[in-house]
Chains A and B, each alone.
Chain A
């Protein structure tokens, strides 16, 4: 290794500092919220909480967890994910497999692909979508949150391109051995596509967990809100109607600000938990989507 010039070393130092600052800028807001959620309200109001809790306590979390609405919303969020994620994946596989065939094998392929692709170009928008759910009588139903996004067309296209990369010989061998198309799809292609399925499942999970607007507009009653929509009303709209004065057990320890910090943090716990394990998959998902021939 050649000895580096002075200017080169200086560049590396400055570059390193810039990147550390950028990383801190991304991390600080999240750590700050977490620290404030465990701090006393007086310390938070005094602005003395940065990276570490001051007067550590769990009152804000106790307060959040004492809410019936919180548990209802959490349950809805789980319900939504357990219905929505498998449905997303099943439909993605069922569409990607036949649409990955050549035009000789499946003559209607192009027509079908354009039928699905067109929805990526054009949409009815907010009002007709809302009126449809209302007219179908799906208001306040979990299906209103699951069915409209049950077919993730972009994911279907990613999966389809992945299936195309699987050698034809595998399929031919399976068909010669007497397998039908369903068996070929689920016994040959799906096991080959495990990394892609993991990636797309991750995106599907995050979409369902984070979606808040549909829960908000497709619900007549706050009892139907999934967690993300509930958080939107308490953290962003700051709807205080749910609070009554005798709720406040210990005014010196919690404030609406520490409670909001706790609510925000609870909302990102699942993402923070899966994030370290999932990182290699979503990098793959991103490059899968944009860098290809």
Chain B
């Protein structure tokens, strides 16, 4: 009892956060029960709803839009993960070769900036720049003798446009961890390599990259958790009905099904499906990170 009294301030400190997280995170988890109900909003969230078993799941899995969204999500997320790992590493290596500290700093300052802008802003900017009529990119294409490309309205180009603009937004900021890892490499290793006659490329291959190995493995493993995250904010602000075929993803599908068509049961079923799969991937990724990179989040 004396011990409890001593710990009482700690409990009191935790309490406000505990209550808020319970209400705004755990109650919605309980609300996932809607996935198994024929949900009628007027009866209330935890009202006396009719249970329909797996009907909602059967219904949504049979919708053509679902499998399409599923495939689009995995394809877009896959390329974002692969290029989102690769490009920041290459960028960090290139930046590391720069000797002029002022130039290095300036480049860093500029390339981090897009990371802090929301997809509402960037969606607006890219809609303007990529417009087939008067957009600056298509002006350049026509000046070079090409035909204007409707990047955001053509299924052939839309996924690539999503991936490219996402990389554009994040590559600079993503390089920070690699730059930090490079700074942590013992300079004596390079001196020893120079004495042994290794050139810069050999030094990069045999010292810099192995020095970054841990962080690269860690980032790879942690990115596993994103296999079903194709980027709702970005897609929602850049897509249109013309590119549902190649650009509709699970999150936008759930949004339209649930909040536009008010089919709460089926939309929650898709949401539950996504949550469960994502949780499995995130858990595995944390486990692997813990096992192989000795990564502990707390």
- Which A residues lie at the B interface, using CB under 8 A? 8, 11-12, 15-16, 18-20, 22-23, 25-27, 29-30, 32-33, 36, 44-45, 47, 50, 91, 94-95, 97-99, 101, 105-108, 112-113, 115-117, 119-132, 134-135, 147-148, 150-151, 153, 156-157, 160-161, 180-182, 185, 206, 210-213, 217, 228, 231-232, 235-236, 257, 260-261, 263-264, 267-268, 271, 275-276, 279, 282-283, 286-287, 290-291, 293
Does the CB pair B172–A26 fall under 8 Å? Answer: yes
Minimum distance in angstroms from A252 CB to a CB of chain B? 17
Residues of A within 8 A of B114 (CB): 26, 30
Instruction: Give the distance in Å from the alpha carbon of A276 to the alpha carbon of B109 in the complex.
Output: 8
Q: From known contacts A135-B45, A231-B121, infer whether A121 and B282 are also in contact, taking CB-CB under 8 Å.
A: yes
Instruction: Judge whether B242 is part of the interface by a CB distance below 8 angstroms.
Output: no
Does the CB pair B128–A261 fall under 8 Å? Answer: yes
Which segment of B26-34, B62-70, B71-79, B153-161 sits at the interface? B26-34
Does the CB pair B13–A185 fall under 8 Å? Answer: yes
The 8 Å CB contact of A131, one of B31, B95, B111, B251, is B31
Residues of B within 8 A of A257 (CB): 128, 134
Instruction: Judge whether B255 is part of the interface by a CB distance below 8 angstroms.
Output: yes
Number of A-B contacts (CB under 8 A): 257
Does the CB pair B17–A180 fall under 8 Å? Answer: no
- Give the total of B residues in contact with A, Cβ under 8 Å: 91
Instruction: Give the distance in Å from the alpha carbon of A17 to the alpha carbon of B137 in the complex.
Output: 21
| Dominant SS among interface residues on chain B | helix
Instruction: Give the distance in Å from the alpha carbon of A51 to the alpha carbon of B262 in the complex.
Output: 46
| Dominant SS among interface residues on chain A | helix
Instruction: Give the distance in Å from the alpha carbon of A266 to the alpha carbon of B102 in the complex.
Output: 30
Does the CB pair A268–B34 fall under 8 Å? Answer: no
Residues of B within 8 A of A206 (CB): 116
Instruction: Give the distance in Å from the alpha carbon of A291 to the alpha carbon of B211 in the complex.
Output: 13
Q: From known contacts A115-B21, A235-B124, A275-B113, infer whether A15 and B97 are also in contact, taking CB-CB under 8 Å.
A: yes
Instruction: Give the distance in Å from the alpha carbon of A280 to the alpha carbon of B134 in the complex.
Output: 38
Q: Mark B84-112, 1 if CB is under 8 A from A, else 0.
A: 00000001001101110001001101111
Q: Mark B121-165, 1 if CB is under 8 A from A, else 0.
A: 101111111000010100100000000000000000000000000
Does the CB pair B41–A27 fall under 8 Å? Answer: no
